[in-house]
Amino acid sequence: MSYSFASIYDKIYSLQARRYAQLLYEIIEKYYPSTRYILDLGCGTLLIEANLPKKFKFVGIDASSFMLKEAKKKKLKNVVLIKSDIRKFKLRKSFDVVISLNDTINHLLSLREIRKVFKNVKKVLKSNGLFVFDINTEESLRYYLPKKLSNWIVFSDEGRKEVLVYRKFKERKFLIWEIYYFTNNGTIKKEIIRERVYNIKEIKHTLLREGFNILEELLLKKGKVLIVSVFKLN
């Protein structure tokens, strides 16, 4: 993701992140209360980590240098940041919990790519460890308009005299972010972010195929589903 989106990410998702952090904490306390080490795939600007107790030790992975730059500004001492593709990362450490939230999985545009992530999660997750992720499903499309009908949303930074305008619309099986960033020197930057929505059955099938057991399936808002799963070594 570009600097334009990373720079306003916290403004868009701060409220959602607080709710997610509370829900995640309740899930951990319910299923794995001894949790200490958490891996965050697609950690973004560390909004989740900033809203969880300091007793947890995190490793955050994100492919965007701009997101990681914003994350570093939070100066969280219980987080190690790594720039990597979540389909390809390699870690020697094992974790009690692996999370992937805020539509991260939807940025993978095929089930084959998702399966690569699931395989990677297995390699670093302790036996009986939790894998918690959310995903926009095909049901999500009902909540978004086509491009011609979608409204624009404006964010401005008065101190830096910069403006970001974006809209989110549906296009076949995709949710599209169309973003325009107006800088203080008069230039305009455009960014398109594509998220693929999935049938929840095919996601669950892929998860089960990789040896995970589903503990909970929570319906969030706008067709988004949170899946809590566990992996047990044979």
Q: Domain segments of the chain: what residues?
A: 3-138+197-231, 140-195
Query: Average pLDDT, whole number, for the chain?
Result: 92
pLDDT of residue 186: 77
pLDDT in tens, 52-68: 999 999 999 999 999 99
pLDDT in tens, 74-89: 999 999 999 999 999 9
More confident residue, 4 or 82: 82
pLDDT of residue 108: 97
Q: Which amino acid is at 53?
A: P
CATH number of 3-138+197-231, picked from 1.10.286.10, 3.40.50.2000, 3.40.50.150, 3.30.300.30: 3.40.50.150
CB 6 within 8 A of CB 69: yes
Return d(Cα 71, Cα 56) in angstroms, integer: 17
From residue 43, give the alpha-carbon distance in Å to each of 17, 76, 86, 137.
11, 13, 10, 21
Residue 113, classed as helix, strand or coil, is helix
pLDDT in tens, 113-167: 999 999 999 999 999 999 999 999 999 999 999 999 999 988 876 666 678 888 9
> Vertex 56, ends 50 and 59: CA angle to 5°?
75
Annotate 31-45 with DSSP letters as a single string.
Answer: H-TT--EEEEET-TT
pLDDT of residue 11: 83
User: Global pTM?
Assistant: 0.93
Positive/negative CA dihedral, 10, 13, 16, 17: negative
pLDDT in tens, 183-234: 777 788 888 999 999 999 999 999 999 999 999 999 998 999 999 999 876 5
pLDDT of residue 2: 54
pLDDT in tens, 18-45: 999 999 999 999 999 999 999 999 999 9
Task: For residue 126, give the nearest of 94, 159, 156, 165 by alpha carbon.
Answer: 94
pLDDT of residue 4: 64
Q: What are phi and psi of 203, to 5 degrees?
A: -70, -45
pLDDT of residue 182: 85
pLDDT of residue 74: 96
Task: Name every residue whose Cβ is closer than 8 Å to that of residue 31 and which is 6 or more positions away in sequence.
Answer: 130, 215, 228, 230
The count of other CB atoms within 10 Å of the CB of residue 135 is 25
pLDDT of residue 1: 55
From residue 160, give the alpha-carbon distance in Å to each of 39, 67, 129, 154, 190.
34, 19, 44, 15, 19
From residue 84, give the alpha-carbon distance in Å to each of 41, 60, 91, 232.
9, 10, 11, 26
